[in-house]
Amino acid sequence: MTALVYRATRPSDFAPTVTIEDFTLIYHRPSGNTHLLAEPAPEILAALGEGPATPADILLRLERNYGVDRGDGAEMVIAARMAELSGLGLIQAA
């Protein structure tokens, strides 16, 4: 099975984000919705800023940038979060 490649939506789609304790608030201009995200969602969005990527690519970027552990099931967790972000319209399949 081939992994989906995702890309970030346009940076102009987002208002500046606000971080409150362990959560990040993101206002998505096209939908008019504000999203409350917990890690690793904001980190995934930041990693996608480097360019389109599969969940495996994102895991490598998170490991490099944040020291994320590549433990059992980590790629599946990243894939699930990316599918959720896609469902919210915050990222898109490339």
**Distance of alpha carbon 45 from the chain centroid:** 3
The pLDDT, as a whole number, for residue 37 is: 94
The pLDDT, as a whole number, for residue 1 is: 58
In a domain, 1, yes or no: no
Q: How far is 89 from 68, CA to CA, in rounded Å? A: 25
Q: How far is 32 from 24, CA to CA, in rounded Å? A: 16
Q: How far is 45 from 73, CA to CA, in rounded Å? A: 20
In a domain, 19, yes or no: yes
In a domain, 68, yes or no: yes
The pLDDT, as a whole number, for residue 86 is: 94
Give the residue from 41, 53, 56 showing the smallest Cα distance to 6: 53
> Which residue range forms the structural domain that includes residue 49?
6-93
Q: What is the pLDDT of residues 21-68, one digit of tens each?
A: 999 999 998 889 999 999 999 999 999 989 999 999 999 999 999 988
**Distance of alpha carbon 33 from the chain centroid:** 16
In a domain, 31, yes or no: yes
Instruction: Report how many domains make up the chain.
Output: 1
Asked if 24 and 30 touch (Cβ cutoff 8 Å), the reply is no
| 89 φ, ψ (degrees, to nearest 5) | 85, 10
| Whole-prediction pTM | 0.89
- pLDDT tier, 13 (very low <50, low <70, confident <90, very high otherwise): confident
